[in-house]
A = this chain, B = another copy of it.
Amino acid sequence: MANSRNRSSLLSVDAALDRILASLSPTMPTHLLLGDALGQILAEDIHAKLTLPPHDVSAMDGYAVRADDVADCPAKLTRVGESAAGHPWTGRVETGQAVRIFTGGYVPDGADTIIIQENVDATSEADQTVITVREGAARGRYVRPAGLDISAGELALGKGTLLSARCIGLAIAAGATSALVSQPPRIGILSTGDELVPSGQTPGPGQIISSNAAFLSAFVKSCGAEAVDLGIAADKSGAVSDAVMAATNLDLVVTTGGASVGNHDHIVGDLADGALDFWKIAMRPGKPLIWGKIGKTPLLGLPGNPVSTAVCALVFLAPAISKLAGGTYQQHLFSAAITTDLPENDQRQDYIRATMGRADHGVTSVRPAPRQDSSMMATLAHADAFIVRPPFDPAKTAGDIVTILPMPRLF
C-alpha cells in the first residue's frame, strides 16, 4: 500500500470545495432592472403579481363551443362572435352557438371546449354563419385554464436563482420589472512569479507573458463577477500581502503560482498561520492549493501551471463566485464512450483534457488529448470537455463509458 501514506495527506476535491464555500458569505444586494440583470443572482424571492394566463384562453385557432353541443358530430352551430388575443368577446355562448377563436384568445363564458379549425367547415368569417363541426372533442380540450402557468402570489423565482434569459422572461411576464440581486463579487487577480511580464511586453531570457491573469480575468467575467487586476507580485516575502492590502472592496483574491513548496514561493509566508487552510488536493492537475486570508480578504491560491490554474478555477473558483453572489453552482457530469485505452488511475481525481464527438449510435464519444502536461495551454484551448476520473478508477478500454464534464462555453 505505497499509496496509503500519500492518500491520507491529500484532501479530496469535494472536501476542499466544501471548506471553501463554508467560509464565504453573499455580497450586499442591489436593485437592477431585469433587462440589465442577465447572469446575476436573485437576492430575494420573486412572487408573481399577475396570473398567467389571466383567463381561460384558447391554445389553438378554431371555435369555442359547448362540449355538449358537439357530442354528436357532424354538428351545426351558429357563429356569434370572434375572440382573438387582445380582443376578447364579452358575450356568452349559448346552446347551438360557437365563437371563432384564435390562439391566446379568451374562451368566452358558456363555452368550455375548443374545436380546432381543421375539424370545422365554415363558408365565411361572418357572424351568423352556420358552421359544421365534423369532429368533436372532450370537454376542456385546447383550453388553457387561467393560472395554468402561474397564479398571482405564487413563487415565480426563488432567492438564489441565476437570472437566465428564461427566468427573466418569466419574471417580466409575471409583472416584475426589477429585482434585488447580489452585487457582482469583486475578484482580485494577482499573478506571482519573477518570470512574468505583462501582456504587451516582449519577454526577455527566462521570462514569459503573464497569461494566467488574462485567463482568470475572462473566466471571472464569464461567471458574472467583476475582475480586478492586481498585477504581478514578485517572488519575495510580503509582495502578495502588499498587493492585496493595497486593493479595496475585494470579495476574494485569486493568486496563481507560488503555491508549491519550493524556496521561491512566498504566498504561504504572507498568510498568517491561523489563516491558512490547506495544501494538497487529491486532483490532477492542481495538487497544491492555498485557502486563507490576508486581512479580511479570502485568498484562493491556484497553482501556476496554466492548465492547473484553469482546472482549479472551474472546480473551485466558479462555485466560490456563485456562493459569493448568493447562488449555488452545480456541475453536471455526463457519460461518454472513450476512444482510447486509459491505465488505472492513482489516488488523485484526474481531469483529462478531451474532445467530444459523436459515437456510432448517437452517444457522445470523447477523445483524450495524447499528452496532458499541465503547462500545455493549446491542448486546453482546443479541448471541449474533461474526462473526470475518480481516485483509483480502474483501467479503461476504448469503447468504455467514462464520466465527462463538458467545458462551459466561455471557460
User: Chain A: residues with CB nearer than 8 A to chain B?
Assistant: 34-35, 38-39, 50, 52-55, 57, 59, 61, 84-88, 102-104, 106, 125, 144, 148-150, 156-157, 162, 164-170, 172-173, 175, 177, 193-196, 199-200, 203, 205-209, 211-212, 214-219, 221-222, 235, 260-264, 304-306, 310, 332-336, 356, 362-364, 373, 375-381, 384, 403, 406-411
Q: Check B169 against A377 for contact (C-beta < 8 Å).
A: yes
Q: Check A335 against B363 for contact (C-beta < 8 Å).
A: yes
Which one of B55, B211, B264 lies within 8 Å of A173 (CB-CB)? Answer: B211
Contacting residues, chain B, for A212 (C-beta < 8 A): 169
Interface centre among A148, A162, A172, A381 (most CB of B within 10 A): A381
Which one of B199, B335, B377, B409 lies within 8 Å of A52 (CB-CB)? Answer: B377
Which one of B53, B55, B362 lies within 8 Å of A403 (CB-CB)? Answer: B362
Q: Check B406 against A332 for contact (C-beta < 8 Å).
A: yes
Contacting residues, chain B, for A378 (C-beta < 8 A): 149-150, 156, 170
Q: Check B86 against A262 for contact (C-beta < 8 Å).
A: no
Shortest distance from the beta carbon of A44 to any chain B beta carbon, whole Å = 16
Complex alpha-carbon distance, A66 and B163, angstroms: 58
28 contacts between A and B (CB under 8 A): A35-B217, A38-B221, A38-B222, A39-B222, A52-B375, A57-B375, A61-B261, A84-B235, A85-B206, A87-B206, A88-B205, A102-B262, A102-B264, A144-B373, A144-B375, A148-B373, A150-B378, A164-B222, A165-B218, A166-B411, A169-B212, A169-B215, A169-B306, A169-B310, A170-B381, A172-B214, A173-B377, A333-B362
Copies of this chain: 2
Which one of B53, B376, B409, B410 lies within 8 Å of A208 (CB-CB)? Answer: B53
Complex alpha-carbon distance, A203 and B195, angstroms: 63
Interface centre among A104, A209, A384, A408 (most CB of B within 10 A): A104
Q: Check B364 against A263 for contact (C-beta < 8 Å).
A: no
**Contact A218 to B380, CB < 8 A, known contacts A102-B264, A206-B88:** no
Contacting residues, chain B, for A165 (C-beta < 8 A): 215-216, 218-219, 222, 310, 410-411
Complex alpha-carbon distance, A336 and B310, angstroms: 28
Contacting residues, chain B, for A53 (C-beta < 8 A): 208, 375
Complex alpha-carbon distance, A216 and B173, angstroms: 13
Complex alpha-carbon distance, A377 and B170, angstroms: 6
Complex alpha-carbon distance, A170 and B378, angstroms: 6
Shortest distance from the beta carbon of A99 to any chain B beta carbon, whole Å = 14
Contacting residues, chain B, for A408 (C-beta < 8 A): 409
Query: Top 5 nearest A-B pairs by Cβ distance?
Result: A86-B195, A169-B215, A86-B194, A173-B211, A165-B218
User: Who on chain B is nearest to A334 by CB?
Assistant: B334
Contacting residues, chain B, for A52 (C-beta < 8 A): 208, 375, 377
User: Who on chain B is nearest to A57 by CB?
Assistant: B375
Which one of B34, B84, B207, B377 lies within 8 Å of A166 (CB-CB)? Answer: B377
Contacting residues, chain B, for A125 (C-beta < 8 A): 263
